[in-house]
Amino acid sequence: MMKKTMLVMLAVLLAAGGILLGSAPRTTGASRAEAAAEDAVTLSGIVTEVREDQLLMTDDTGRRLQVMLKDTTRLEAEEPLQPGDFVRVTYNGLMSRSVPAIIGADVIACHRLRGTVQEKGEGSLLLRVDESTTRLILTDEAFEPGTLITVCCESTEGDALTALYVRGPELCGTITGVMEEGFLLDTGSEEVTVLLNDDTILGVQPEAGLAVRVAVTGAMTLSLPAQYTASLVLLQ
């Protein structure tokens, strides 16, 4: 009789356990994706080096980052990434404490246009991309007509685009000397002085003998040698 009673109680407990287990919340693929989306973080900055499985970049705060490319990383770009590109990187919010800090990219977005300034207005530039295409670029950056610039936007579709980043014309050459405020650059046709400031992004530390690309802001000075202010310095 006691054995029969114990079997009945065991059956009841198993049934109750089945009810409890059946009522427990289950984590589905959809809910995991929703949780990941809530934790996602997007940051932006300038690519300073492109490697096979990673990017080096400097974000908007001046922090250097190593962005790892995963098999699942989605690239939203019309062309391959290159140093000097403005990118927006979405990742899961996890970042190492190393220097540079390391993150794993889920999405990398880069939409750029390169063209010549045709007209400049208040808060805008008319950019000629090719012989048949012009775009109105909404930006506070001021470049003279005839200047070749690169513009990064949310998208390259549409007649009027809001600029996220504008990179000015570039100088290429070899560093011949380094000074406290910048360096001397031999462009092949002349030697110019390149000035650095707190906003200049250095993809490489200037040293004599290095071949570099320099994005400059504004026009050169009329001094001898001519002076430019750099927004970006990269290896050539």
Domain presence at residue 22:
no
> What would the two tokens of residue 15 be?
């049934």
Domain presence at residue 26:
no
Domain boundary residue, one of 149, 167, 185: 167
Domain presence at residue 138:
yes
Domain presence at residue 211:
yes
Residue 60 sits in a domain of what CATH number? 2.40.50.320
Domain extent, residue 117, equals 112-167
* 27-83 tens-digit pLDDT: 555 555 454 556 899 999 999 999 999 999 999 999 999 999 999 999 999 999 999
Domain presence at residue 76:
yes
**C-alpha–C-alpha distance, residues 109 and 101, integer Å:** 20
For 163-181, what is the mean pLDDT?
Answer: 95
Q: Are residues 99 and 117 in the same domain?
A: no
Q: What is the pLDDT at residue 36?
A: 53
**C-alpha–C-alpha distance, residues 55 and 49, integer Å:** 6
Q: Are residues 60 and 92 in the same domain?
A: yes
Q: What is the pLDDT at residue 31?
A: 53
pLDDT confidence band for 224 (50 / 70 / 90)? confident
Using alpha carbons only, how large is the chain's radius of gyration in Å?
27
Domain boundary residue, one of 86, 110, 134: 110
Residue 137 sits in a domain of what CATH number? 2.40.50.140
The candidate with the shortest Cα–Cα distance to 76, out of 152, 19, 133, is 152
Q: Are residues 218 and 198 in the same domain?
A: yes
Q: Are residues 144 and 184 in the same domain?
A: no
Inform me whether the pLDDT recorded for 104 exceeds 80: yes
42 and 60 in contact (C-beta within 8 Å)?
Answer: no
Burial class (CB in 10 A: 0-12, 13-18, 19+), 201: buried
Domain presence at residue 56:
yes
For 3-12, 32-41, 59-68, 140-149, which range has the lowest pLDDT when averaged over its residues?
Answer: 3-12
> What would the two tokens of residue 42 be?
């997007």
For 41-45, 139-143, 207-211, which range has the lowest pLDDT when averaged over its residues?
Answer: 139-143
46 and 201 in contact (C-beta within 8 Å)?
Answer: yes
Torsion sign, CA atoms 67, 70, 72, 76: positive
Inform me whether the pLDDT recorded for 7 exceeds 90: no
Inform me whether the pLDDT recorded for 223 exceeds 60: yes
Q: What is the pLDDT at residue 88?
A: 97
Q: Give the mean pLDDT of the chain.
A: 86
Q: Are residues 119 and 85 in the same domain?
A: no
Domain presence at residue 195:
yes
- Alpha-carbon dihedral angle through residues 189, 193, 197, 201, given to the nearest 10 degrees: 30
Domain presence at residue 1:
no
The model's pTM? 0.78
For 205-234, what is the mean pLDDT?
Answer: 88
**C-alpha–C-alpha distance, residues 13 and 116, integer Å:** 78
The candidate with the shortest Cα–Cα distance to 105, out of 153, 151, 73, is 73
Q: Are residues 100 and 121 in the same domain?
A: no
How many structural domains comprise the chain?
3
Neighbours of 206 (CB within 10 A): 20
The DSSP letter of residue 58 is E
